[in-house]
């Protein structure tokens, strides 16, 4: 749910049982990072509509303008330093992506498990340099309502001649992840072919190095 890889029905199931749900628009829907929010059930909304007692230090992380009008007491207890323009812009992107996806959900949703299975097969073909990080919750067989697009991958490289590939370190993985997002065509040696330059000029945005 934190990554919004869930259906509206599943969200309602938790809210109906009084759960508060942390969500972000920056994962499944592709909005900029730090695009977070909390979905509150009616009981929590009612409590903050009249209860102005807040934990010490909350005002360091939350402002009056981050709280909906349906929670007047909580808004009153917080300061108003000015609009959080960054958060507004992030959620503008996130909501735009959500509306576009949901308008054609019947077309897109069935393609998710097909895409997931295709990626898993591509990783398998890339052995021994790529390996799936197996997890029961990461299968393409309908878990999470068919919304799950998370695929864990381990990466291996040849570090010593004559030795089998070794798993990359976290620092190496972060550097690889950074370089994938850059046009590296000008970093190749002068004798690089046009095809090689074209191949490394493509920017690839994939997952996170964790």
Please write the tens of the pLDDT for every residue from 31-74.
888 889 999 999 999 988 988 888 888 888 888 889 999 999 99
**Percent of the chain at pLDDT above 90?**
34
pLDDT category of residue 207 using cuts at 50, 70 and 90: low
Q: Are 94 and 29 in contact (CB under 8 A)?
A: yes
């Amino acid at each position: 749910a934190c990554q919004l890889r869930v259906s509206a029905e599943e969200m309602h199931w938790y809210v109906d049982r009084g759960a508060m749900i942390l969500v972000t628009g920056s994962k499944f829907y592709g909005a900029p990072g730090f695009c977070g929010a909390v979905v509150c059930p009616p009981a929590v909304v009612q409590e903050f509509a009249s209860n102005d007692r807040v934990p010490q230090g909350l005002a360091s992380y939350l402002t009056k303008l981050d709280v909906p009008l349906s929670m007047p007491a909580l808004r009153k207890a917080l300061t108003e330093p000015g609009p959080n323009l960054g958060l507004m812009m992030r959620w503008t992107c996130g909501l735009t992506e959500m509306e576009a996806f949901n308008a054609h959900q019947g077309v897109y949703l069935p393609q998710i498990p097909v895409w997931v299975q295709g990626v898993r097969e591509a990783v398998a073909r890339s052995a021994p340099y790529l390996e799936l990080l197996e997890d029961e919750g990461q299968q393409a067989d309908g878990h999470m309502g068919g919304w799950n697009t998370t695929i864990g991958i381990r990466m291996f490289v040849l570090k010593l001649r004559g030795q089998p590939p070794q798993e990359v370190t976290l620092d190496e993985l972060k550097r690889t992840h950074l370089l994938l997002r850059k046009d590296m065509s000008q970093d190749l040696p002068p004798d690089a072919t046009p095809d090689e330059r074209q191949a490394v000029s493509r920017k690839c945005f994939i997952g996170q190095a964790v």
